[in-house]
């Protein structure tokens, strides 16, 4: 019999790639979406448009325990991938309360609903390298202490601890992926990589003159989302639940990302990138670099895309996007 997966945050970048991945593995895929997404499917379900007929969507709110209980009880999934979150770090400085409410309570409600109504369900939590924040060692592994630098990071540390505690206290199959930044042509436009590749395409087509960015010196360990959703599934399909760092082990600055993206269309980034001090964060995470040896060894996971291939994939997709959509 085919397995059943339930995904929160199915409309997001990772949710859409994970859905494709699980459908290929013959899973029955269920997703939790906000009611507005069903009412405005054309815009809000754009990443799922091509597979909508193959999945089942349930309206619910991460802020409502009752609505989550109903879906967990009804679907009794084999695996839950909890990806739903206010995921934009910069926004978490502007709206701390809703970031904490959605990210911490949402995680807690789902864990509690699984424990009470479907305790055999396996649970994946979308942890983040933002938990390392002001890093305590280089590179960062599962053993590195956390030092979050934003409410977003704090909410993810809380979710990680809740997940670990449910595993230890109630013997449930719960694990966290500590995923470093992963990007793709489906990345939201507010994140720096997509902001750059979209601007590169618009500048190339004469629709935009320049590109305002904040801290060009921030360094990230950037991978491709397609590779990272495979790791989520691997974590839920082991004998013993454990937490894993997922990363490429290579680090590049925002400047290096921009330089390469502009070069790919024959332009010099220096002529177009303008620094905007108000795009700097109140407390920045300056440098992240992951050590994913444990995942390589125990999950036999490794990324297929390198940095150049990631940037090239995003630039190519945005050239096609701008040409087709005109914006
Ligand atoms: P994303 O594209 O921003 O997607 C976030 C998803 O969460 C969307 O489906 C969104 O739904 C949903 N969501 C947000 N607020 C919600 C709320 N109040 N109620 C219900 N749903 C809500 O994020 P992603 O890049 O796919 O990341 C997936 C998960 O991994 C997130 O938890 C993120 O924090 C975490 N993570 C991401 C990265 C990365 O580099 N991408 C790295 C580490 C961890 P709507 O479409 O309705 O807004
Ligand atoms: O910023 C700098 C910014 O917003 C990356 C989320 O998926 O990954 C993501 O969080 C860096 C930061 O991603 C602009 O200051 C410069 O240093 O693309 P970002 P993020 O904050 O790293 C982690 C792992 C997650 O878990 C999160 O959910 O780029 N930067 N100029 C800029 N960033 C943005 N957004 N816009 C700029 O103009």
Ligand 1 atom nearest the C-alpha of 15 is 26
Asked, for residue 300, whether it belongs to a domain, the answer is no
Identify the CATH number of the domain in which residue 197 sits.
Answer: 3.90.25.10
Tell how far the Cα of 214 is from the centroid of ligand 2, in angstroms: 10
Q: Are residues 270 and 142 in the same domain?
A: no
pLDDT score of 40 more than 90: no
166 and 259 co-located in one domain: no
Which of 12, 13, 192, 277 should be mutated for ligand 2, with most atoms under 8 A from CB? 192
pLDDT tens digits, 119-170: 999 999 999 999 999 999 999 999 999 999 999 999 999 999 999 999 999 9
CB atoms near residue 162 (< 10 Å): 19
Looking at the structure, do residues 163 and 216 belong to the same domain, yes or no? no
Could you tell me the pLDDT band of residue 278, with boundaries at 50, 70 and 90?
very high
Instruction: Kindly give the distance from the C-alpha atom of residue 191 to the centroid of ligand 2, in angstroms, as a whole number.
Output: 5
* Mean pLDDT of the chain, nearest integer: 97
The 10s digit of each residue's pLDDT in 176-219 is 999 999 999 999 999 999 999 999 999 999 999 999 999 999 99
pTM over 0.85: yes
What is the reported pLDDT for 1? 85
CA distance 57 to 182: 25
CATH code, domain carrying 70: 3.40.50.720
86 in contact with ligand 2, CB cutoff 6 A? no
Average pLDDT of the residues in 87-91: 97
Closest ligand 2 atom number to CA of residue 126: 26
Residue nearest to atom 6 of ligand 1 (CA): 9
Shared domain check, 240 and 139: yes
219-220/244-246 β-pairing: unpaired
In a domain? residue 210: yes
Whether 146 is in a domain gets the answer: yes
Atom of ligand 2 nearest to the CA of 286: 17
Residue 38 confidence (pLDDT) above 90: no
| C-alpha span between 308 and 55 (Å, rounded) | 33
Q: How far is the centre of ligand 1, averaged over its atoms, from the C-alpha of 108 (Å)?
A: 16
CB-defined site of ligand 1, < 6 Å: 9, 11-15, 34, 37, 44, 61-62, 83-87, 102, 126, 128, 179, 181-182, 188
pLDDT, residue 305, reads: 98
Residues 70 and 153 grouped into a single domain? yes
Nearest residue to 206 (alpha-carbon basis) of 291, 265, 119, 153 = 265
Quote the CA–CA distance of 114 and 205 in Å, as a whole number.
50
State whether the Cα torsion 15-219-86-213 is positive or negative: negative
What are the two backbone dihedrals, phi and then psi, of residue 175, each rounded to the nearest 5 degrees?
-145, 160
Per-residue pLDDT band for 265 (boundaries 50, 70, 90) equals very high
Q: How far, in Å, from the CA of 142 to the mean position of ligand 2? A: 22
Question: Residue 69 has what pLDDT?
Answer: 98
Is residue 181 within 6 Å of ligand 2 at its C-beta? yes
Q: Give the H/E segment covering residue 245.
A: strand 244-246
Q: Is the pLDDT of residue 105 over 90?
A: yes
Model confidence band, residue 42 (pLDDT cutoffs 50, 70, 90): confident
Query: Does ligand 2 lie within 6 Å of residue 220's CB atom?
Result: yes
Confidence (pLDDT) at 310: 98
10 belongs to a structural domain? yes
- The Å distance, Cα 215 to ligand 2 centre, comes to 10
In the chain, the percentage of residues whose pLDDT exceeds 90 is 97
Q: How many helices (H) and strands (E) does the chain have?
A: 13, 13
Domain assignment present for residue 311? The answer is yes
228/324 Cα distance (integer angstroms): 28
Q: What is the pLDDT of residue 199?
A: 98
Same domain, yes or no: 104 and 13:
yes
CA-closest residue to ligand 1 atom 5: 12
Within a domain: 292: no
pLDDT tens profile 220-262: 999 999 999 999 999 999 999 999 999 999 999 999 999 999 9
Q: Can you give the residue range of the structural domain that contains 265? A: 188-220+251-284+307-325
Q: Is 49 inside a domain boundary? A: yes
Q: How many residues does the chain have?
A: 327
Q: Please identify, by atom number, the ligand 2 atom nearest to the C-alpha of residue 89.
A: 21
Residue nearest to atom 18 of ligand 1 (CA): 102
- Ligand 1 atom 3 nearest Cα: 87
Q: What pLDDT score was predicted for residue 260?
A: 98
DSSP string, 198-250: HHHHHHHTTS-S-EEES-TT-EE--EEHHHHHHHHHHHTTSSS---EEE--S-
Report the chain's terminal Cα–Cα distance, integer Å: 45
The answer on pLDDT for 175 being more than 90 is: yes
Query: Beta strands 182-183 and 122-128: pairing type?
Result: unpaired
Domain count, the chain: 2
Shared-domain flag, residues 80 and 195 = no
Question: What's the 84 CA to ligand 2 centre distance in angstroms?
Answer: 18
Q: At which residue do the structure tokens 């082991």 appear?
A: 238
Question: Do 96 and 229 reside in the same domain of the chain?
Answer: yes
Q: Which atom of ligand 1 lies nearest, measured to the CA of 84?
A: 7
Q: Which among 184, 298, 187, 180 is positioned nearest to 249, based on CA atoms?
A: 180
Q: Decide if 22 is inside a domain.
A: yes
> Is residue 122 domain-shared with residue 216, that is, in the same domain?
no
The helix (H) or strand (E) run that includes residue 125 is strand 122-128
Residue 242 CA, chain-centre distance (Å), reads 19
Active site residues: 128, 130, 152
Do residues 46 and 134 share a domain?
Answer: yes
Q: Are 86 and 205 in a shared domain?
A: no
- What residue's CA is closest to ligand 1, atom 29? 83
Residue 75 sits in the same domain as residue 129: yes
């Amino acid at each position: 019999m085919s397995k059943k997966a339930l995904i929160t945050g199915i409309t997001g970048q990772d949710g859409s790639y994970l859905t494709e991945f699980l459908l290929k593995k013959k899973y029955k895929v269920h997703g939790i979406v906000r009611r507005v997404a069903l009412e405005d499917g054309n815009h809000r379900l754009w990443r799922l448009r091509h597979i909508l007929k193959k999945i089942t969507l349930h309206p619910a709110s991460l802020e409502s325990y009752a609505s989550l209980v109903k879906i967990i009880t009804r679907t009794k999934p084999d695996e839950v991938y909890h990806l739903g979150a206010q995921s934009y770090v910069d926004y978490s400085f502007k709206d701390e309360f809703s970031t904490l409410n959605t990210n911490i309570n949402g995680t807690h409600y789902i864990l509690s609903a699984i424990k009470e109504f479907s305790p055999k369900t396996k649970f994946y939590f979308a942890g983040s390298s933002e938990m390392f924040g002001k890093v305590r060692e280089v590179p960062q592994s599962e053993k590195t202490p956390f030092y979050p630098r934003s409410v977003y990071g704090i909410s993810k540390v809380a979710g990680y601890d809740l997940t670990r505690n449910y595993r230890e206290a109630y013997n449930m199959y719960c694990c966290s992926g500590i995923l470093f930044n992963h990007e793709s042509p489906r990345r939201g436009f507010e994140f720096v990589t997509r902001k750059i590749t979209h601007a590169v395409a618009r500048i190339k087509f004469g629709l935009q003159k320049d590109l305002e960015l904040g801290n060009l010196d921030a360094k990230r360990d950037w991978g491709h989302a397609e590779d990272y959703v495979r790791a989520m599934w691997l974590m839920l399909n082991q004998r013993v639940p454990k937490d894993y760092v997922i990363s490429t082990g290579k680090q590049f600055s925002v400047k290096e990302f921009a330089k390469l993206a502009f070069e790919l269309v024959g332009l010099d980034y220096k002529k177009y990138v303008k620094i905007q001090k108000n795009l700097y964060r109140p407390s920045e995470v300056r440098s992240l670099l992951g050590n994913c040896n444990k995942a390589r060894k125990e999950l036999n996971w490794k990324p297929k895309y390198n940095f150049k291939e990631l940037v090239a994939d995003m630039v190519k997709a945005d050239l096609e996007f701008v040409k087709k959509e005109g914006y």
